[in-house]
């Protein structure tokens, strides 16, 4: 009876304590909730903003707008568009004033008593042979077009560099997650080795090997964090961001499928590659340069007019003159020979660049297709098989039917094949990025 009363007393005390605790929690719950939500009531908004993955396409738009090298090249091209007007303009007009004295070096000596003393005003204008100015303007236009193609090539190069670094950063960030996950899986192996060691079925060496593997994974994680920081710095440099700005979280990489054939990509490269376009423009420029060198055998002209004012009792003088500037034919022959040699050189450079681009497109196409097959083998065969082998080895080890070396080997196979698979994805995406740069095709 006394124990029953004591039990009821304890139960009543526990009920009061529980009621008091619930009251305290109800009082402080709004404060805790508001602190977690932040000043705007959006729970974890800042943390989610920091950790939200940034799409690659958004960074591509940013590098095109804010990369310093691309901006400088764009300004240089826009400046070159003003050159055709400069070179096609007439030479500067020359104005002159003359004062002619008679009988003394003093200014205006003899001006009132000699019809030879005068004050003269003249104008002179050089006139190139018709067609020369237009040819110079066409050459400048070709140079501006070539600079535009070079700007496009630089832009594509910077976008390609961004993609390469982005893919590497994505690989590093995903690898860190894989290492953490594999370290948790290794914890199961450690528990199994320690359990067997405690009951006398295992040896201490197995426990130490499991601990050693755990330490190696921690070392790899630290190394990957170092690589992550380096790649973050490279991306910020390409984007023109401050180095102390927020770090970039990448999206998960997924292997795309290359839908274009090699012939289609080669045709796109011939039509849209900026380096080839620059070489083609260079040939047209050299063709115009040859035309100008031939036109330079023609003479240029000079037109002058002078008005000479004398004293009131004498008549004024008016003089017009027309001059011809004959070219040095030896020099012009050398100029024409140089232009013709440069014309041949430009064609050879186009042929070499076309072969280089075609070969690189073909190589990247073969690489991408081969990697697609390898990725399929990893997804459908190696990865699930290695995981099943490890699970089987772990179960056999726990039931004392397999040694630790076989279990550790199966664990390392899972880890290494997972990392190899992700590295193959990076290689595949990098090959596609190179194809995009070479052909101007935006691969889905």
Structure confidence at residue 136 (pLDDT): 95
Burial 213-244 (b: 16+ CB within 10 A, else e): beeebeebeeebeebbeebbebbbebbebeee
Structure confidence at residue 51 (pLDDT): 67
CATH architecture of 53-90+129-299+329-439: Up-down Bundle (1.20)
Tokens of 433: 């990025």
Q: List per-residue pLDDT tens for the chain, 444 residues long.
A: 333 333 344 334 334 433 333 333 333 333 333 333 433 444 443 333 346 899 999 999 999 999 999 999 999 999 999 999 999 999 999 999 998 888 888 888 877 788 888 899 999 999 999 999 999 999 999 999 999 999 999 999 999 999 999 999 999 999 999 999 988 888 888 888 888 778 777 788 888 888 898 899 999 999 999 999 999 999 999 999 999 999 999 998 888 888 899 999 999 999 999 999 999 999 999 999 999 999 999 999 999 999 998 887 888 899 999 999 999 999 999 999 999 999 999 999 999 999 999 999 999 999 999 999 999 999 999 999 999 999 998 888 888 787 888 888 999 999 999 999 999 999 999 999 999 999 988 887
Within 8 A by CB and 6+ apart from 175, the residues are: 224, 419, 422
Structure confidence at residue 151 (pLDDT): 94
Structure confidence at residue 38 (pLDDT): 38
Structure confidence at residue 37 (pLDDT): 41
User: Which strands sit side by side in the sheet containing 300-309, from one edge to the other?
Assistant: 94-100, 118-127, 300-309, 317-325
- In the chain, where the domains are located: 53-90+129-299+329-439
Provide the β-strand partners of residue 307: 121, 318
């Amino acid at each position: 009876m006394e124990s029953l009363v004591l039990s009821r007393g304890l139960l009543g005390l526990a009920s009061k304590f529980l009621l008091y605790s619930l009251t305290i929690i109800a009082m402080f719950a709004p404060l805790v909730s508001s602190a977690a939500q932040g000043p705007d009531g959006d729970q974890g908004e800042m943390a989610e903003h920091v950790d939200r993955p940034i799409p690659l396409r958004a960074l591509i738009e940013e590098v095109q707008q804010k990369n310093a090298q691309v901006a400088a090249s764009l300004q240089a091209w826009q400046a070159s568009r003003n050159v055709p007007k400069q070179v096609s303009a007439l030479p500067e007009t020359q104005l002159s004033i003359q004062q002619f004295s008679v009988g003394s070096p003093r200014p205006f000596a003899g001006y009132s008593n000699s019809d030879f003393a005068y004050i003269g005003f003249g104008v002179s204008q050089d006139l190139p042979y018709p067609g020369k100015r237009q040819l110079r303007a066409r050459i400048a236009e070709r140079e501006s077009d070539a600079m535009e193609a070079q700007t496009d090539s630089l832009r594509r190069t910077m976008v390609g560099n961004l993609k390469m670094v982005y893919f590497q950063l994505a690989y590093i960030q995903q690898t860190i997650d894989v290492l953490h996950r594999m370290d948790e899986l290794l914890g199961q192996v450690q528990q199994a080795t320690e359990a067997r060691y405690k009951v006398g079925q295992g040896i201490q060496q197995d426990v130490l090997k499991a601990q050693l593997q755990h330490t190696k994974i921690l070392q790899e994680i630290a190394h990957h964090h170092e690589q992550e920081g380096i790649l973050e710095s490279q991306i910020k440099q390409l984007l023109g961001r401050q180095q102390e700005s927020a770090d970039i979280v990448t999206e998960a990489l997924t292997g795309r499928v290359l839908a274009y054939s090699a012939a289609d990509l080669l045709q796109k490269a011939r039509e849209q590659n900026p380096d080839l376009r620059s070489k083609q423009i260079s040939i047209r420029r050299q063709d115009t340069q040859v035309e100008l060198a031939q036109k330079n055998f023609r003479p240029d002209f000079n037109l002058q007019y002078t008005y000479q004012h004398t004293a009131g009792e004498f008549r004024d003088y008016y003089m017009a003159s027309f001059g011809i500037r004959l070219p040095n034919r030896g020099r012009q022959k050398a100029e024409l020979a140089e232009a013709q040699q440069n014309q041949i050189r430009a064609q050879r450079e186009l042929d070499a660049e076309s072969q280089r681009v075609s070969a690189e497109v073909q190589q990247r196409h073969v690489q991408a297709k081969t990697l697609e097959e390898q990725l399929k083998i990893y997804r459908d065969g190696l990865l699930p098989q290695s995981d099943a082998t490890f699970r089987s080895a772990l179960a056999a080890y726990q039931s004392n039917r397999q040694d630790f070396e076989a279990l550790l080997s199966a664990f390392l196979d899972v880890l290494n094949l997972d990392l190899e698979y992700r590295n193959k994805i990076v290689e595949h995406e990098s090959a596609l990025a190179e194809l995009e740069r070479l052909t101007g095709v935006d691969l889905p």
